[in-house]
Amino acid sequence: MTHKIIIDTDPGIDDAMAIFYAALHPDIDIVGMTSVFGNVTAEIAARNAIVLAERVGQTIPVAKGAAKPMVMEPNGVSDYVHGVEGFGTMPAQPITGKPVDEPAHEFICRMIHEHPNEIILCPIGPLTNIAMALEHDPTIAAKTKAVYIMGGGLNKGNVTEYAEANIWNDPHAADAVFAASWDITMVGLDVTTLVQCVPADFERLAASTPTIGGFLNEAVQFYMDFYASHYGKRGCDMHDPTAIIAITDPQYFTIETHALEVIVDGARIGQTLRSTDPSRPKHKVPMDVDAEGVKQRFLSMIETGF
């Protein structure tokens, strides 16, 4: 079965890993990418999504999305994690294409209507474009096959003790997305922090696939510097690729179902919680993972690259 996916992304080093995995997977068809502020500005995110599409040699439409959160002021980019241009110390990469002439939220709505019950949305950045699409046309929820979100976490945060970065960057948008009745899998820090790669993994990829693995190995050095300075060991969490692997390899995940809500102000802003509100739909939340299985799935898929 081919999964038709739209990746909503703020590339971003682990975004690059996720997009390469999806692009190389024989059962995934990336029908579009939408860009969003987050790790980098909206401008850089759109450019970087095109960089990644061109690097895998695929013609993937990229629609430019939100430059700021729906309600609150922006928190600012994560250049200390992903680098000023989003791929570590790499300078801005040349591109030949440009974004399509349609804003991200309209692109998402149009694609869902053109492919009813076929599109899987994969937001791996702040949820602004997804919430804007829902606001623009609430009927998309019933026509979307599934939504796989990298974000949140029921037991841990990363930017604060409580909040994960993608949710923290637009908590109002995230809360609106979780309030909608569609089939969400929230792939959060509960599992993504368990899937980790180390320098030798990326060296292996660089040796076998210079175009893709070499790019990742170069970009990931800065990302691993960040992890080394914060956690005392050189390696990195595989956040965004884990969310895509949950689509292709659900057997690796132990999934609970919970209604979810997001705290939108105060000290715990951006925290994802189990909701007791009976009007909220239940969503899937992976709470444990075969981390080695997911990691080897990622490495072997990139190794088949070119």
Residue, CB closest to ligand BDR: 165
Report which secondary-structure segment, H or E, holds 18.
helix 13-24
Q: Under rule CB under 6 A, which residues in 234-263 are in contact with ligand BDR?
A: 239-240
- The C-alpha torsion from 94 through 64 and 240 to 257, rounded to 10°, is -170
Residues 6+ apart with CB under 8 A from 269: 160, 162, 163, 168, 171, 263
Over the window 134 to 153, marking each residue x when it contacts ligand BDR by CB under 6 A and - when it does not, the resulting string is ----------------x---
Q: Contact, 285 vs 154, CB < 8 A?
A: yes
Compute φ and ψ for 120, nearest 5 degrees: -105, 120
Q: Contact, 137 vs 109, CB < 8 A?
A: yes
Q: Tokens 């189990």 label which residue?
A: 274
Instruction: Among 41, 129, 158, 185, indicate the residue that binds ligand BDR (CB under 6 A).
Output: 158
Residue 32 interacts with Ca ion (CB under 5 A): yes or no: no
Residue 33 interacts with ligand BDR (CB under 6 A): yes or no: no
- By C-beta, is 197 or 280 nearer to ligand BDR? 197
Enter the tokens of residue 85.
């241009």
Instruction: Among 41, 48, 78, 209, indicate the residue that binds ligand BDR (CB under 6 A).
Output: 78
Check if 239 is active-site. yes
Q: Which of 73, 66, 12, 1 is nearest to 243 (CA)?
A: 12
Whole-number Å distance between alpha carbons of 306 and 301: 11
The one catalytic residue in 3, 105, 239, 283 is 239
175 binds, among ligand BDR, Ca ion, none (CB under 5 to 8 A by kind): none
- By C-beta, is 22 or 280 nearer to ligand BDR? 22
Residue 3 interacts with ligand BDR (CB under 6 A): yes or no: no
Instruction: Among 15, 85, 190, 201, indicate the residue that binds Ca ion (CB under 5 A).
Output: 15
Instruction: Among 5, 19, 22, 81, indicate the residue that binds ligand BDR (CB under 6 A).
Output: 81
Q: Contact, 188 vs 253, CB < 8 A?
A: no
Instruction: Among 32, 65, 125, 213, indicate the residue that binds Ca ion (CB under 5 A).
Output: 125
Over the window 230 to 269, marking each residue x when it contacts Ca ion by CB under 5 A and - when it does not, the resulting string is ----------x-----------------------------
Residues 6+ apart with CB under 8 A from 224: 199, 234, 235, 236
Instruction: Region of 38 please: left (phi>0), alpha (psi -120 to 50) or beta.
Output: left
158 binds, among ligand BDR, Ca ion, none (CB under 5 to 8 A by kind): ligand BDR
Residue 124 interacts with Ca ion (CB under 5 A): yes or no: yes
Look at strands 196-197 and 236-237 and give their pairing.
antiparallel
Q: Under rule CB under 6 A, which residues in 109-138 are in contact with ligand BDR?
A: 124-125
How many residues comprise the chain? 306
Q: Which residues are catalytic?
A: 239
> Where along the sequence are the contacts to ligand BDR (CB under 6 A)?
12, 14-15, 39, 78, 81, 124-125, 150, 158, 164-166, 239-240
